[in-house]
Amino acid sequence: MRPVYVIAGGITKFAKANPAKDFRLMVKEAFDSALADLGGKLTPAEIDGSVISYFSDHFTRQLKAGAMVQDFVGLCPKPHVRIEGGGATGGLCFQQAWESIASGRYEVVAAMGFETMSQVETAKGNEFIALASDTDYDFPVGGYYNGYYAMMVVRHMHEFGTTEEQFARIAVKNHNNACHNPYAQERLALTLEDVMRSEYIAWPLKRHDICVMSDGAAVCLLASEKAAEKFCRNPIRISGIGAGSDCMRFADRPHGQVPLLPHEKKSDYKHLKYPGVHSFRAGRVAAMGAYKMAGIENPVEDLDVIELHDAYSSSELQTYEDLGLCKYGEGGRFIDQGQSTLQGKLPVNPSGGLLACGHPVGATGLMQAATLFWQLQRTIPKHFGNDKLQVKNARRGLIHSHAGTGTYVTVTILEKP
Amino acid sequence: MPTEPRLPEIERGTEVFAVDPLTIRTHFEVDYQHSYKQDTPFFHGLAKGKLLGSHCPKCSYKFATPRVHCMYCGGPTQWFELPTEGRVHSWTVCYFAAQEFLKEVPFTLVLVEFKGVDTLFLSRLVGVERRDIKIGMKAKARFRRKATWTVRDVYFVRAET
């Protein structure tokens, strides 16, 4: 496999509803903004193909929407493929784009994602998403993702003593970060009290612990070393790729042993039954793969910034553990100590994450990738219009994309060459 | 004199949410002939007041939510009757839901664990207040008198301790 670089990113401002623009126009906006970032050096003629990500055909009520995007942005008759993997759709798209360059098939590829969730009311949107859980066994009892994640964190609270305040602190952190991100949907300077007093949606998850439905698009352009040198002054290398999966029904997951990262010992988890429903085994497996490829032995020491999939404040806390930022059971303490804040040892979700940026599913993983790319390029001040969220001297970072209850997870490492 | 061909005028108008950008109501509905296929015995079981799981004769692994093939060895599993009493492994009370279930909120979802069975079963817990629900509490299966032929034919209530 040959080296692959990110050379440009583009995002639309995520919004609750963007009725004036359809998905094609939103993607074109993100695509044009990525091309503009290269100062006009790269034109669509030099792009060899695309990977297009969107989650649900129900929102668009249009099959083959990917073909319409390819057509609208002017990439026909070049090849393209659609990727779908629930909430991890964007992360899977990015990794598929990486593969198309790493394999030598393409020199330059466009990874383009979108979702237009404002087409239906929020309860119907939750229903569309709930159809990504088992429709014979889980959905018919009233199962939906807020409920599933609530049950997962209730078990985490039981196993490890995690508290509602601890995951509420993550909601506070991410919303306050987003106040400085012009692309974010919910720019709210929330306090711990605001989060704790917001209404229960699925106990113990409250309104501000849960991300919002969104309309948006994001694009990343990836290139071989030769093409990156030709088109971009400040490319960022993709140094690690990892992915994992888990049982579709979380009730089916084993109660076995923790797959260990290099800095963990078997004795750390003598009595822990894993993953059960308290942890995301796919996230752990994805991290192991990406760390091995990038040569990371201790993620807290070896990484400078992380953008991870916080559809729920609780799942960010659980993901700290899957990624090995702390041991299983110590996610609550990790946020209590402020380790993942902008001023902490390892800033997590400086963008505001899904909680505040919004989660237009197919765009989300690519939004994270574009944001991390800018962090490592140190061009956040240029793109956000202020330097508040630029992590100083960021050299190596991680993006994490996650599908419902942890059925698919991708972990990707980017670094400044 | 022959008249020009024309489409008939509409009798009822279209619901318009916004004029610019023009946003109209469109409707989509479909009836499926949905077969439970290889899982049919589970749903027959519910109608007879039985909860069926599956077990792998080779691995001795027991699945509370049935799978007709073992996820470890890939071999075929056999049906077996689960105990009707288990314990709450995890739970939540939903105050919001997917549109189809909005009219039922608040409702309680539980993952039930059964002694000697390796995986869990997702269901409703009925008749217990939020403050009284505890992980580890005993719950027993109840079955609807009139089958709906869905997984909703079983639900759980608090069992005497």
- Alpha-carbon distance of A415 to A195, in angstroms, equals 34
Asked if A245 contacts A91 with a C-beta cutoff of 8 angstroms, the reply is no
Residues of chain B found within 8 Å of residue A247, distances taken between Cβ atoms: 71
**Residue A156, pLDDT score:** 98
Residues of chain A found within 8 Å of residue B23, distances taken between Cβ atoms: 19
Opening angle at CA B19, ends B16 and B22, nearest 5:
80
Q: Are A252 and B107 in contact (CB < 8 Å)?
A: no
Contact map slice: B 35-74 vs A, CB within 8 A: 36, 39, 63-65, 67, 71
Letter string b/e over residues A299-333, b meaning 16 or more CB atoms within 10 A of that residue's CB: bbebbbbbbbbbbbbbbbbbbbbbbbbbbbbbbbb
**Residue B1, pLDDT score:** 74
- Alpha-carbon distance of A397 to A372, in angstroms, equals 7
- Alpha-carbon distance of A32 to A124, in angstroms, equals 32
Establish how many alpha carbons lie within 13 A of residue A108's alpha carbon, considering only the half-sphere containing its beta carbon: 21
Q: What is the mean pLDDT of residues A152-173?
A: 98
**Residue A244, pLDDT score:** 98
- Alpha-carbon distance of A145 to A111, in angstroms, equals 27
pLDDT more than 70, % of chain A: 100
Residue of A229, A231, A237, A177 lying closest to A395 (CA atoms): A237
Q: What is the mean pLDDT of residues A368-389?
A: 98
Instruction: Look at residue B160 and tell me whether its pLDDT is greater than 90.
Output: no
Q: What is the mean pLDDT of residues A325-331?
A: 98
Q: Are A123 and B99 in contact (CB < 8 Å)?
A: yes
Reported as type and span, the H/E element at residue A168 is helix A164-178
pLDDT more than 90, % of chain B: 96
Q: Are B151 and A130 in contact (CB < 8 Å)?
A: no
- Alpha-carbon distance of A324 to A146, in angstroms, equals 25
- Spell out the CATH class of A4-120+215-222: alpha beta
* Number of cross-chain residue pairs from A and B with Cβ atoms under 8 Å apart: 121
Q: Are A147 and B150 in contact (CB < 8 Å)?
A: no
Q: Are B122 and A61 in contact (CB < 8 Å)?
A: no
**Residue A283, pLDDT score:** 98
Residues of chain A found within 8 Å of residue B107, distances taken between Cβ atoms: 142
Give B3's pLDDT tier (boundaries 50, 70, 90).
Answer: confident
Domain boundaries, chain A: 4-120+215-222
**Residue A142, pLDDT score:** 98
Q: What digits encode the pLDDT tens for the residues A74-113?
A: 999 999 999 999 999 999 999 999 999 999 999 999 999 9
Q: Are B89 and A155 in contact (CB < 8 Å)?
A: yes
Give B2's pLDDT tier (boundaries 50, 70, 90).
Answer: confident
Asked if A319 contacts A405 with a C-beta cutoff of 8 angstroms, the reply is no
Residue A124 in contact with partner chain B when CB distance is under 8 A = yes
Residue A253 in contact with partner chain B when CB distance is under 8 A = yes
Residues of chain A found within 8 Å of residue B26, distances taken between Cβ atoms: 61
Reported as type and span, the H/E element at residue A30 is helix A23-37
Residues of chain B found within 8 Å of residue A155, distances taken between Cβ atoms: 89-90, 111, 135
Reported as type and span, the H/E element at residue A397 is strand A396-402
Residue of B nearest to A247 (CA): B71
DSSP SS3 for A202: strand
Q: What digits encode the pLDDT tens for the residues A17-34?
A: 999 999 999 999 999 999
Q: What digits encode the pLDDT tens for the residues A261-316?
A: 999 999 999 999 999 999 999 999 999 999 999 999 999 999 999 999 999 999 99
Contacts of B84 (CB under 8 A, 6+ apart): B51, B140, B141
Q: To the nearest whole number, what is the mean pLDDT of chain B?
A: 96
Q: Are B91 and A152 in contact (CB < 8 Å)?
A: no
Residue A121 in contact with partner chain B when CB distance is under 8 A = yes
Q: Are A141 and B135 in contact (CB < 8 Å)?
A: no
The ipTM value here is 0.96
Q: What is the mean pLDDT of residues A131-136?
A: 97
Q: What digits encode the pLDDT tens for the residues A191-240?
A: 999 999 999 999 999 999 999 999 999 999 999 999 999 999 999 999 99
Contacts of A410 (CB under 8 A, 6+ apart): A88, A91, A92, A94, A95, A241, A242, A243, A286, A365, A399, A400, A401
- Alpha-carbon distance of A255 to A301, in angstroms, equals 30
- Alpha-carbon distance of A414 to A393, in angstroms, equals 14
Q: To the nearest whole number, what is the mean pLDDT of chain A?
A: 97
> Min CA distance, B6 vs chain A (Å)?
30
Instruction: Look at residue B161 and tell me whether its pLDDT is greater than 90.
Output: no
